[in-house]
C-alpha cells in the first residue's frame, strides 16, 4: 500500500491535467477528429516530445530509478492486433469521446453515468480475453 502511494499521487496529477486541459471533453475529441482545432494534437504531440527527450536523457546517461535499479522499457512487438484493435478502439474513442484515462477522470469529475461506459469497457476487455485465441494477431 505504502509502496504504491506514489502511483496514486502520479494518477492524481494526471487526472487533474486531463480535466483542466479539457481532454476529457467529448466536444474536444469531436473537434479533433473533425480537424477543427489544434488543441488535442498540440497536447498529444508535446507530450510525446517531452517523453521522448526524457527517455533519450535516461538512456544517454544510464539513469536509474530512485531505488537504484536500471531503467528498462519493454519492447513492443508488432502484431496485427495493433491494426485491427487500433481501428476498433478508434471507433469507440470517437463515440465515447474518451480513451481509458479520461473515462476514470470523467467519473471522478462527477459524470457518474460514465461508470456504465467503464464497466462496458471492462466487459470488452474480458470478451477479448475470452475470444483472443480465435482472433488474427
Partner 1 sequence: MEFLKEPWPWYIAGPLMGLIVPALLFAGNKSFGISSSLRHICAFCIPANISFFKYDWKKESWNLFFVAGIVLGGFVAAQFLNGQHAVAINPHTTALLKQQGLKDFSGLLPQDIFSFHQLFTLRGLIFMVAGGFLVGFGTRYAGGCTSGHSIMGIASLQWPSVVATCCFMIGGFVMTWFILPYLIKL
In the window 87-116, what residues touch partner 1 (CB under 8 A)? 87-101, 103-114, 116
Which residues are within 8 A (CB) of 19 and not within 5 positions of it... i.e. 6 or more apart?
105, 109
Residue 2 is a binding residue for partner 1 (CB under 8 A): no
Contact 24, 102 (CB under 8 A): yes
Residue 4 DSSP SS3: coil
Residue 68 is a binding residue for partner 1 (CB under 8 A): no
Residue 84 is a binding residue for partner 1 (CB under 8 A): yes
Residue 62 is a binding residue for partner 1 (CB under 8 A): no
Cα separation, 56 vs 54, whole angstroms: 5
Smallest distance from partner 1 to CB 131, Å: 9
Sign of CA dihedral 63, 71, 89, 95: negative
Residue 61 is a binding residue for partner 1 (CB under 8 A): no
Smallest distance from partner 1 to CB 34, Å: 6
Interface pattern 10-29 for partner 1 (x via CB under 8 A): xxxxxxxxxxxxxxxxxxxx
Amino acid at each position: 500500500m505504502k509502496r504504491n502511494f506514489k502511483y496514486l499521487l502520479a494518477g492524481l496529477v494526471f487526472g487533474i491535467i486531463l480535466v483542466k486541459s479539457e481532454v476529457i471533453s467529448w466536444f474536444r475529441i469531436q473537434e479533433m477528429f473533425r480537424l477543427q482545432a489544434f488543441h488535442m494534437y498540440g497536447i498529444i504531440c508535446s507530450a510525446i516530445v517531452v517523453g521522448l527527450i526524457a527517455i533519450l536523457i535516461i538512456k544517454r546517461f544510464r539513469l536509474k530509478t530512485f531505488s537504484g535499479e536500471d531503467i528498462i522499457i519493454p519492447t513492443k512487438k508488432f502484431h496485427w492486433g495493433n491494426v485491427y484493435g487500433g481501428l476498433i478502439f478508434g471507433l469507440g474513442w470517437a463515440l465515447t469521446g474518451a480513451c481509458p484515462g479520461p473515462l476514470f477522470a470523467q467519473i471522478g469529475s462527477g459524470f457518474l453515468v460514465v461508470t456504465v461506459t467503464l464497466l462496458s469497457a471492462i466487459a470488452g476487455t474480458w470478451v477479448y480475453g475470452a475470444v483472443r485465441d480465435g482472433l488474427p494477431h
